[in-house]
Amino acid sequence: MNPIVKTQIQEKALLRIQADQVCVDYNGMVALYDASLNLKSGSICGLVGMNGAGKSTFFKALMGFVRPSRGKIRINGVSVTNAQKQQYVAYVPQNEGIDYSFPVSVWDVVMMGRYGSMNIFRIPRESDRRAVIHALERVDLLNLRGRPIGALSGGQRKRAFLARAIAQRASVLLLDEPFSGVDVPTEKLMAELFLQFRQEGRTILISTHDLNHVRDFCDFVVLINKTVLAYGETTEVFTSENLNKTFGGIPPNPLAGRTSAKDFQNE
């Protein structure tokens, strides 16, 4: 078999995220229990649940920000600690802890995605600069690279922080409410990028309250309420019965709004 084709097949079969019976507690209070999940490369998965259901805790466990009291997590087949060292995972939170009055440029923010690949002096190499340019081009912000991050609109800031994740070249992207507070052009651009990431073999886990986005382009969905209630292909798991369990008997209406990713492309 052609070595390139063999590598592509192996990459496609690779499990990017493996979580087995993961439990997390804070000072004796259970935040997440017996949560299991397997996500292969080249997939988009929606993480759906109410506020306080454990979505953020699950993200923190995948990133290594909190240590599970029980269970195992592997990213690209290695431990979370090794995945951090290899820069396998990029996290884009809903709200960035950045002082927008501080004079940091868009370029500087995106370059932060390269820090894990630099030496202790954090002096950018030519490869780092090329990675940042490429990332800014993909989110259509190259012409604003010198602008202070605080001078951008909400949608432009979201694109800048997504560009930081692209510059990191992570194979797993964890996105917390990426469409919250963005304008329509940014929403369309981000949706198209996520589909491109899937084609590139990346795995995307999106925490969202917007069920229409799950229907639009998520291959898989995880329904969570302190544990994984249901997981699988969206066409099979995204049902009224499962949503009813997830949202405590008052499921939102998933049938309203856009129905396909093509709607983003055709607007």
Length of the chain: 267
pLDDT digits 0-9 by tens, 221-250: 999 999 999 999 999 999 989 998 898 765
pLDDT score at 122: 84
pLDDT score at 123: 87
pLDDT digits 0-9 by tens, 69-86: 999 999 999 999 999 999
Residues 60 and 253 sit within 8 Å (Cβ to Cβ): no
Break the chain down into helix, strand, coil percent, rounded to 5: 40, 25, 35
Tell me if residue 28 falls in helix, strand or coil: coil
3-state SS of 106-122 is HHHHHHHHHHHHCCCCC
pLDDT score at 2: 52
**C-alpha distance across the termini of the chain, in Å:** 43
Hey, what are 226's tokens? 């302190």
Residues 195 and 138 sit within 8 Å (Cβ to Cβ): no
Q: Report domain extents, the chain.
A: 1-88+170-179+200-267, 93-169
Global pTM reads 0.84
CATH code matching the domain that covers 1-88+170-179+200-267, chosen among 3.40.50.300, 3.30.70.1150, 3.30.300.30, 3.40.50.150: 3.40.50.300
pLDDT score at 267: 35
The ranges of the chain with pLDDT < 70 are: 1-13, 96-100, 249-267
**What are the CA-CA distances from residue 183 to residues 23, 157, 158, 179, 188 (Å)?**
37, 11, 10, 9, 9
Which residue reads 């409410």 in tokens?
177
Which residue reads 């369990």 in tokens?
245
pLDDT score at 254: 45
> How far is the C-alpha of 235 from the C-alpha of 215, rounded, in Å?
8
Beta bridge partners of 247: none
pLDDT score at 265: 33
Residues 21 and 70 sit within 8 Å (Cβ to Cβ): yes
